[in-house]
Chain A
Amino acid sequence: MKNILGYLHSNLTPGEAGSLFWVTVYVLLVFAGVATIVMFMNWFERKAMAHMQVRLGPMRVGPHGLLQPVADALKLLLKEDLMPANADKLVFWFAPVTVVMTAFCGFIVVPFGPTHAITDMNIGVLFMLGVSSLSVLGVIMGGWASNSNYPLMGSLRSGAQMVSYEVAMAMAVVSAVMMSSMATGTGTLSMIGIVRAQMQQHVWFAFSFFPVGLIAFAVFAIAMVAETNRAPFDLPEAESELVAGFLTEYSGFRWSLFFLAEYAAMIAVSSIATTLWLGGWLRPFPNLLAGKNWDLAFSLVPGLSFMVAAGLCFFFYTRMPKIRAMRANAIGQAGLGCFLFALGVVLMLPGVHERIQDIYWFTLKVLGFMYLYIWYRATFPRYRFDQLMKIGWKVLLPISIGVVILTALIGVRQELFALVWR
């Protein structure tokens, strides 16, 4: 008991503190949080794409279709559990499980805040890359076990694609890791360490060694879209060519597992990008606008933003037509407004607002990436397979290798300057 309460005053992640209780709590929290974001993304993607495509998107289930993901999830769970007659039963069953497990494993090291990570590994980035690249295994298993042509081709494409883009991705990561060694002299692969290094160097690595950091960031941002099989690199599940790619034979709960894994993987790679280049949990201008007052002001932003959202809910509630058919919707919207307002108040309570703001900024940055994913999907046509390979091997890989070399050269030069100056 003492250990459990004692952790609250420590400055460690639960993994470092070795507290099994808090690790379990954190794992459950992260799982619930990621699952919630996936549900939210399901709704948000449909809404954002709908508005880009001059239509409304889901409007019926709950206010502005907010409950649509719940309805979808229920539908998927209630569907008949189908398995093709000629499928390899065991592998077919195991494939979605593999994909989900690998997608969620990566979150062990994601730092939502200086202490808000399940654990801090000294090889965090490597762990994350390694685990996320394992998901290709599940995809290939799924495609092969379906014993059907479309899934087979989809999984072959997926395998080739994920393996090729991994290389460019890793090279871009190396550049960020090298940057983390600048102030202290020793680089780190720990996710928390990398964010701390950005704090010490007073710069997000995306803007470090301008424009080298930015190029590395761009390479990663492109490679991560390909890595997660999203448009315009969504060849493995290219609807107009391969029907649904490796997902063709999956339906119901198994399909929803793949869906969950896809979005979880998107969040995972977005978290890597956020951590490595966009300052992780750091709020905007932590050094420039330092001081007690600024700290307080920024820590109130999460609560305020929820309150603004609540205000919007109330505002649109007043503009809803006062008719019987809209009554349930109107009540729902007002209820949502109240909930958001209450959440905003809770987030502003003393004791909460100092702790919550790291998570808030981190999530906000990740959601920015998620919005980009949606934007890409609504904007770009799809690449062809050979073009995709060309971009991976002939464009991104040379650029990322060049970035690594440049980072090293600039870094060495700066260190030498610093030595001479001293």
Chain B
Amino acid sequence: MSDKQFYESLDEVEPGHTFLGSNELVLNMGPQHPSTHGVLRVILKLDGEKVNGLECVLGYLHRGIEKVAESRTWTQFAPFVDRLDYTAAVSNSLGYCLAVEKMLGVEVPKRAQYLRVILTELCRLASHQIWLGTHLLDIGAVTPLFYTFRDREYILNIFEKYCGARLTNHAFRIGGCRWDAYEGFSKEILHLCDDLLPKIDEYRELITGNRIWLQRTKNVGYISVEDCRSYSITGPVLRASGVCWDVRKAQPYSSYEDFEFDIPTGTASDTFDRYVVRVEEMRQSIRIIRQAVEGLAEGPIIAKVPKVIKPPVGEVYVSIEAPKGELGYFIVSDGSAQPYRVRVRPPSFINLQALEKMSKGSLVADVVAIIGTLDIVLGEVDR
């Protein structure tokens, strides 16, 4: 049998046969792997270096947080949501508080709303900084990680001063905030904003012009607008494909309608555009923080909320724009002191679905880059 006949026979038996009729290599990436951002497990089907298909295996960080809610009171459950997306704990907290407040029909005082905006935007900055560092680390640049973590430290210091915790800071309560701004809060934050802007420029100088970085990210992990819609992808990944959708603008919550800011969008919908969008988002966050600090009015920081929270029977869905995308809370109350059901719509989990679509036909190195660009946190994916 000649070579040609051999390959033709292969075609008959198996239409999508691999290069030179070799076997498919199944590579198990994770759950212990340096660049799966935690304990994601990806099973790659490889033809040499080319990815023919992949499958995500989830659940290695499943803690049953949604189930835990059913045996806690509404107030007791609040600290648990911080453990969902632990790089942006404040955002999770905000979403949950907003949902319960909506159910209770509580109006949060203006000062508390502004404080919440300041802290969530700081948290967005911190989250994007982690993303930038780790994403670059995945692509092989070691150094920027240390720069982003150095700058994130200043934000964490502010959290620490505000509520005593740095990472899983249970900063908000149902009805407002637990703590008022400490002395020198506004000054310190404005100072931080002044410091951070040149740092963001520094990241850009380090990274954006780098030829290797451009080659590694341009046209990698493309996903069309239609696919984004059908996978219900949100956040920077969606905005990089050109859709101008941001919950902060579309359905303003916590006084976001008071602030002026732009929604950065991309055009190419590739890894590089997502990087540009996120870095621009960091600048916009600083813009929002500045306005919020200046508009911080005097007044109470927490609304009148009963000691034992018993929302009326019913269900509520509230979503906010978390750093990773649209974070939604669907909560059902049976009128008792404990939630009947809390369902989280985690942006990371839903964005992760696109991994297979994005990385089919690319190389192994691209899969790592795409996992990075989706900005997943396994605490949120597995819950």
Contacts and interface: CB of A to CB of B under 8 A. Distances in A.
Given A234-B140, A384-B363, A386-B363, 14 more contacts: A49-B143, A53-B143, A53-B145, A149-B25, A153-B49, A232-B212, A238-B365, A241-B368, A379-B141, A381-B136, A381-B216, A382-B141, A382-B216, A384-B365
Nearest to B217: A381
A357 to B, nearest CB: 36
Interface string B136-156: 111111110111001000000
A382 B365 contact: yes
Given A240-B34, A240-B35, A385-B49, A378 B215 contact: no
A238 B365 CA distance: 9
Contacts of A241: 35, 364-365, 368
A391 to B, nearest CB: 10
Contacts of A243: 33-34
User: Which 6 A-B pairs have CB atoms at the shortest separation, nearest pair first?
Assistant: A382-B140, A240-B35, A53-B146, A381-B141, A381-B140, A381-B139
A319 interface: no
The dominant DSSP class at the B interface is: helix
Given A149-B27, A384-B216, A53 B363 contact: no
A321 B146 CA distance: 28
Interface residues of B, number: 30
B124 to A, nearest CB: 23
A53 B137 CA distance: 13
A379 B140 contact: no
Contacts of A422: none
A54 B25 contact: no
A52 B143 contact: yes
B230 to A, nearest CB: 29
B23 interface: no
B28 interface: yes
Contacts of B215: 383-384, 387
B28 A149 contact: yes
Contact of A381 (B35, B146, B210, B364): B210
Interface string A368-396: 00000000011111111111000000000
A79 interface: no
A239 interface: yes
B363 A238 contact: no
A153 B27 contact: yes
14 contacts: A52-B143, A53-B146, A153-B25, A157-B49, A231-B140, A232-B212, A239-B35, A241-B368, A243-B33, A381-B213, A382-B141, A383-B212, A386-B363, A387-B215
Q: Which of A242, A378, A381, A382 has the most CB of B within 10 A?
A: A381
B273 interface: no
B146 A232 contact: no
Nearest to A382: B140
Contacts of A322: none
